[in-house]
Amino acid sequence: MAIAQFDSLENVAPQRSRVREFADQTRAALKLVPDLTVDNSQAVGNGAFIAFLIGVFTAGLLLLLSVNTALTSGAFTLENMKLHLAAVNDQRDAVLNQVATFSSPNKLAEAATKLGMAPQASINFLDIGGGTSK
């Protein structure tokens, strides 16, 4: 058994040297990377970031409020215009009813009599070509 253990130790030793060579190569590769440590004088604090987020949130809320106010104002304007249109349509209907009342045949005959016109007793036809009346 001791021989088997000795053989296994011989096989392990070369592997350790390979690991060391690989580790040396890795260390050399890592030394080529520039230093990425952050200097505390250049770092942005958490307070500044939170203040920025609060500012963005506040600006978004103010923008949403202004859009909502503009839409509500437009809705009130639209409602006022609809009410005005209904009033104008009522006035138009009243005027059309008055015109219909005054243009009835009885009202026209009464107005003509007040102006001094008399109804025609007989029907006369005018011949334009000959200049005579029949």
- Residue-wise pLDDT for 48-85, tens only, equals 889 999 999 999 999 999 999 988 888 888 899 999 99
Residue 116 predicted with pLDDT over 60: yes
pLDDT band, residue 101 (cuts 50/70/90): confident
Phi first, then psi, for residue 126 (nearest 5°) are -105, 125
* Residue 24: both structure tokens together: 């040396």
Q: Are 126 and 133 in contact, with CB atoms under 8 Å apart?
A: yes
Q: Are 80 and 86 in contact, with CB atoms under 8 Å apart?
A: no
Q: What DSSP letter does each residue of 17-30 carry, written as one string?
A: HHHHHHHHHHHHHH
Residue 21 predicted with pLDDT over 80: no
Of 22-36, 68-82, 93-107, where does mean pLDDT reach its minimum? 22-36
